[in-house]
Amino acid sequence: MSLGNNEDSVDEVARWMQLLHPSRRAQLLALLSHELTVSLRVLAYEAKSDPEVVERIRILNEAHHRVAGYLVYLLSDHEDTTWLKSVAGYLVLCPDEIVRRHIEHAWKHAQSVVNRSDPRDPSVAG
């Protein structure tokens, strides 16, 4: 599943994450968080005080903040999955095309790792 780029995509991505077992959701968010930090390094290296690149770093950092923040929330044992729509919205509706490509790459990597898990594994909802 790609992230898409509209409100319907936000609902679809949020629903997909909600259907994951909490341990798989945590794995997805941790992988996504890690990949976003790699993208931040790339953009920071390219920044050289360019205001446009610095703004991209800010946008990508906000995406990372939301993913990591939800991961902390998930691990607190008081999760409310309706908040996943907020995370999905920031990922799907990213206003900058370059940042969006970085987010899409991180999403595809995280999702592919989660999807490779054994379907008989009880930690996968279904």
pLDDT in tens, 21-66: 999 999 999 999 999 999 888 888 877 778 898 889 989 999 999 9
Q: What is the pLDDT at residue 4?
A: 78
pLDDT tens profile 68-79: 999 998 998 788
Say what the pLDDT of residue 67 is. Answer: 93
Q: Is the pLDDT of residue 123 over 60?
A: no
DSSP state of 41: H
- pLDDT on residue 87: 93
- What is the rounded distance in angstroms from the CA atom of residue 22 to the CA atom of residue 34? 18
- DSSP character string of 61-91: HHHHHHHHHHHHHHTTT---GGGHHHHHHHH
Taking residues 93-121, what's their average pLDDT? Answer: 87
* Average pLDDT in the chain: 87
pLDDT of amino acid 124: 45
CA angle 83, 17, 92 (to 5 degrees): 75
pLDDT at 119: 57
